Structure 1
Amino acid sequence: MDTLRFVIYDKAGNFQAQIEGAAEASAELVANAVNTAEFTIPDDHRAVDAITTPGARCAVHFRGVERFRGMIKETPGEGPDGWITAQVRCDIRKFWEWYGWQVPGNAIGSQTSAYRAYTGPAETVAKNAMAENFTRLGVPWSVTGSAGRGATSRVQLRMHPLADKLFPILDANDLIVVLAYDGPNVVVGMRGRETVPGVLTLASGVPEGYEFNRIAPTATRVIVGGRGEGAAREFVQVIDSARESDWGDIVESFMDARNTEEGSDITIDGAMALAEGAEKAALSTELNETERFMFGTTYDVGDLVNVRMGPVEVTQPVSVSITESASNGVEVTPYIGDLDVSADTDIRMQRMIAKLAKNLRDKGRG
């Protein structure tokens, strides 16, 4: 059904209330990110006590499917005879709130290793790191078995938020984190991104106006510095010859891998840095829903969409914004692309601050 439905639970996962047809409601759905939703009800609504109880949780449903679940983090309101708004943040947030320890099985005073290094397929690396730290925390979270998807990757954790290190390798390998619930128990799985058939153009009637940018590679070869000091330090070089041929250019980059374990294959670190330095074609556009392009029917959040507009042809993941109001009913707006292409100054500044904060967290753990 084309309406947002909110199911309220207490902190133990017990059903408390259900809200459908709120005066105002919205949801933002983005793969591998903190999805959000909010709804507004009168301050004398029967569900007020349920949504304002500490630890209250909410499942967000749309078109017959639970889209995400999370804690009600804020409940601003006004009165008397006013309104109260419940603001929901999905449980993916926990990957920014839970850290990866150097030795997850040891007490805080016995962190006897400099880093906890995980190497292997991206899915296996992420799930192993998650599982070890779920056990450390004693939370009722678990992971499904790994199918070994994704390129060989390496992650090193030293009191980093799990998302800082794990989500970039999942995004790079088109893997999406999926949470399933059984009462208070949460099972973390992953799915690969599907690709929506065909190519969307302006003539198809699906895309609206657009903005784009093309960015040349920032690295065509990477020098990796491994263990050792001075003349004894280990160095390797990883080169993308095809990239250099395509662009007629050589761009060197340096990757510090001195903290890898002795005997590690540091070409893995070079390949990961090389992937980050690839050329980019960014396109930002809102899309229209049609019978051919319908959320929950022909695509899901995070699936890949082929779009050709202007001089740019790209394949990018799709996200969804849903709004509901008495005046306009339910409006579903899919969008694709790197929103930095069209973001205003405030949004650009917020993203720059978030990136700087991540870098500072990384440096502060050295």
Structure 2
Amino acid sequence: MGSPYRQATATALAARPAAPEMTVWVYNRVGRRLGSVGAPRLVSGTLRDGVEPSTVRLEVDLDDRLAAELQAPGARVEVHREDPALDEQYLSGGWMKATEPTSGPDSALGVDIEDYEVVLRDLLAWPVPAAALAAQNREQWRMTGFLEDIAKALIRQNVARSTRRVPIFVAPSLGRGRRTTVVARMEGVDEVLLVPLEQADLRVVVRPAGPPEHRTGLLVDVVPRTVYPKRLTEAAGIVITSAGRVEAPEATRVVAGGGGEGVARDFRSLVDPDREAAWAREIERFVDARDARSELDEANRELEQAQEAEQRANTAYGEARNEQRHEEGAKYAGVQAADVALVRAEAARDRLPSTATAEQKQAAADVVTEKTEDLAAARKDYSDTVTEQTSRVREAIRERDVAAAETRRAASAAAALVAPYEADLLARMRDRLAEGAPKASVSVALSETATFAYGKAGLVIGARVTLGLARGVDDVVERLRSVEWAWAPGAALTLTPQIGERPPDLEDRFVSSIRHVARVVGAVAAAVRQQQSRR
């Protein structure tokens, strides 16, 4: 007869139908599949929809045929549920983060895996992604548009910097989400996108790309959150236990500090009157949005420079007109003087007496010729001056018109940025209000049934689900923020979803339960190995 411990374990495992088998595939650093883990002692993990990436914990025998490969730098693991009834059999996958080999009578290898989602945390958002680090000539990266377009552009532009990491492909955008503005400067891409995507009911998914035998990279997509169509209840045998928590608001009104310095700084405010009325409190919070006006400030600086250039062009035009009047007047006076001199020379020649000698007549004729030439030269000089001054004035007019057009363009560009600036301030205040909203949370332990399973009918991480918890308690419609799961060969898969914000003590409880499952499964596995060795 077996030990009471083993009997209790067997009874517990028989109480629920056995889950479909799982396969744990192992890949090397370049994505080539090496094989599957033969008989893992325990596979557990947490699927997350939030800041932290999902994780997997794998425990295998130290002499498993793939133990060495699991400990190699860049090793990858993928966990698949072998159930054709599921919409998606892929459960989780990622890189080896840490290994814990232990020796002794019960030698084992523990492997911690971080989901592929970690690539978004590992990727910094550069102000100018396409430029070298020394050529970051913009204060921040900024884009206005539909949120999906922005998210994918931010990821695509930053993954293009390197060819040494795993290839990352970004799915084409469908323009989902509200129009907004996103700014970034040397922050993790996941940190930049988390709040706006969450508020738009969108999420980023990262999946392995390429055939299962040889993964060619990762595919990043932005998808809407699914809605699970069924109501989950205890009566249906799905909800086993639940625990709830309600927290007061952390903010009811927000002040945003925009651009400017000192008394010239912009301030805006946003109040949630319903929240203040419901809780009878006014809770102010501040958002530093000084960077929000950077583009508008730059546009205003360009406008000031354009206005100064226009003023210089107007001054240059005035100087050109004055010079034209002066130079043309002076040259015209020279023409008049030469004309008078010629008239006088002709009169002197005509007044010569008939008794004048040939020399006198020739001298008078020479003077007339000289004055005629002087007049012709003066007229040419005047004509050249008119041509030159007219050209200078025309050039001054052209430069004045160009400067005026540039001023109008700069003014239009600056005016066009006022509304996005105000919208950005409003969006940041709304984000802060959303962060400070009252939090109602519930953690629910679910049991898979013949009609209910994670991965079926849209029940995936991030999905919105409706829970009927107890008689007299309103249904809860919330987001599936995390799913903690554990599985061992021959045992049923256990799932502990967490809906809403996590109550602080639930994680400790789940960690304790996972350790208990590991001890139970480990004891069973050790007993089986002992029996096999006796045979």
TM class by shorter chain equals 0.7 to 0.9
> What's 2:262 paired with?
230
> What's 2:315 paired with?
none
1:245 is displaced (CA, Å) by: 5.3
Contact 1:8/1:51 (CA < 8 Å) preserved in 2? yes
After superposition, the Cα gap between the structure-2 partners of 1:282 and 1:40, relative to the gap in structure 1 and judged at 3 Å, is closer
1:241 is displaced (CA, Å) by: 4.4
Most deviating of 92-101 and 21-30: 21-30
Q: 2: distance between equivalents of 1:27 and 1:345?
A: 14
Aligned ranges for residues 1-366 of structure 1 at < 5 Å? 2-32=20-50, 33-64=52-83, 65-79=89-103, 82-138=107-163, 139=165, 140-180=167-207, 181-182=209-210, 183-244=215-276, 247=279, 250-260=282-292, 261=294, 262=296, 263=418, 264-265=421-422, 266-298=425-457, 299-309=459-469, 311=473, 313-318=475-480, 319-325=482-488, 329-337=491-499, 338-343=501-506
Q: 2: distance between equivalents of 1:195 and 1:20?
A: 36
Q: Deviations over 1:11-37 (max 9, x none)?
A: 111121112542222232223442222
Contact 2:245/2:503 (CA < 8 Å) preserved in 1? no
Task: Give the SS at the match of 2:59.
Answer: strand
| Counterpart amino acid of residue 23 in structure 2 | R
- Highest Rg: 1 or 2? 2
Contact 2:204/2:221 (CA < 8 Å) preserved in 1? yes
Q: 1: distance between equivalents of 2:438 and 2:157?
A: 35
After superposition, the Cα gap between the structure-2 partners of 1:154 and 1:274, relative to the gap in structure 1 and judged at 3 Å, is farther
| Counterpart amino acid of residue 290 in structure 1 | T
Q: Which has the higher strand share?
A: 1
Contact 1:153/1:272 (CA < 8 Å) preserved in 2? no
1:204 is displaced (CA, Å) by: 4.0
1:258 is displaced (CA, Å) by: 0.9
After superposition, the Cα gap between the structure-2 partners of 1:15 and 1:97, relative to the gap in structure 1 and judged at 3 Å, is same
After superposition, the Cα gap between the structure-2 partners of 1:157 and 1:26, relative to the gap in structure 1 and judged at 3 Å, is same
- Please provide the CA RMSD for this pair: 2.7
After superposition, the Cα gap between the structure-2 partners of 1:248 and 1:49, relative to the gap in structure 1 and judged at 3 Å, is closer
Contact 1:177/1:190 (CA < 8 Å) preserved in 2? yes
> What's 2:411 paired with?
none
After superposition, the Cα gap between the structure-2 partners of 1:38 and 1:20, relative to the gap in structure 1 and judged at 3 Å, is farther
Q: Deviations over 1:316-358 (max 9, x none)?
A: 23333332235x61322141222234336899xxxxxxxxxxx
Q: 2: distance between equivalents of 1:121 and 1:243?
A: 29
Residue ranges of structure 2 left out of the alignment (5+ in a row): 1-18, 84-88, 297-417, 511-535
Most deviating of 52-61 and 152-161: 152-161
Q: 1: distance between equivalents of 2:456 and 2:436?
A: 35
Contact 2:45/2:56 (CA < 8 Å) preserved in 1? yes
Contact 2:149/2:174 (CA < 8 Å) preserved in 1? yes
After superposition, the Cα gap between the structure-2 partners of 1:218 and 1:132, relative to the gap in structure 1 and judged at 3 Å, is same
Q: 2: distance between equivalents of 1:221 and 1:92?
A: 34
1:80 is displaced (CA, Å) by: 6.2
Q: Deviations over 1:175-221 (max 9, x none)?
A: 22222312232120122211222443444432233322223333333
| Counterpart amino acid of residue 503 in structure 2 | D
After superposition, the Cα gap between the structure-2 partners of 1:214 and 1:85, relative to the gap in structure 1 and judged at 3 Å, is closer
After superposition, the Cα gap between the structure-2 partners of 1:176 and 1:332, relative to the gap in structure 1 and judged at 3 Å, is farther
| Counterpart amino acid of residue 124 in structure 2 | Y
The higher relative CO (CA closer than 8 Å, separation ≥ 6) is in 2
Q: Deviations over 1:103-161 (max 9, x none)?
A: 21222222222222233333233222111110123342121122232334443322112
Q: 2: distance between equivalents of 1:271 and 1:142?
A: 32
Q: 2: distance between equivalents of 1:121 and 1:66?
A: 30
**Percent identity of equivalent pairs:** 26
Q: 2: distance between equivalents of 1:129 and 1:194?
A: 24
Q: 2: distance between equivalents of 1:41 and 1:313?
A: 41
Q: 2: distance between equivalents of 1:170 and 1:309?
A: 29
Most deviating of 187-196 and 139-148: 139-148
Task: Give the SS at the match of 2:129.
Answer: coil
Contact 1:217/1:280 (CA < 8 Å) preserved in 2? yes
Q: 2: distance between equivalents of 1:341 and 1:197?
A: 29
Q: Deviations over 1:237-257 (max 9, x none)?
A: 333445455556544332221
Residue ranges of structure 1 left out of the alignment (5+ in a row): 348-366
| Counterpart amino acid of residue 269 in structure 2 | Q
Aligned residues: 346
Q: 2: distance between equivalents of 1:75 and 1:208?
A: 34
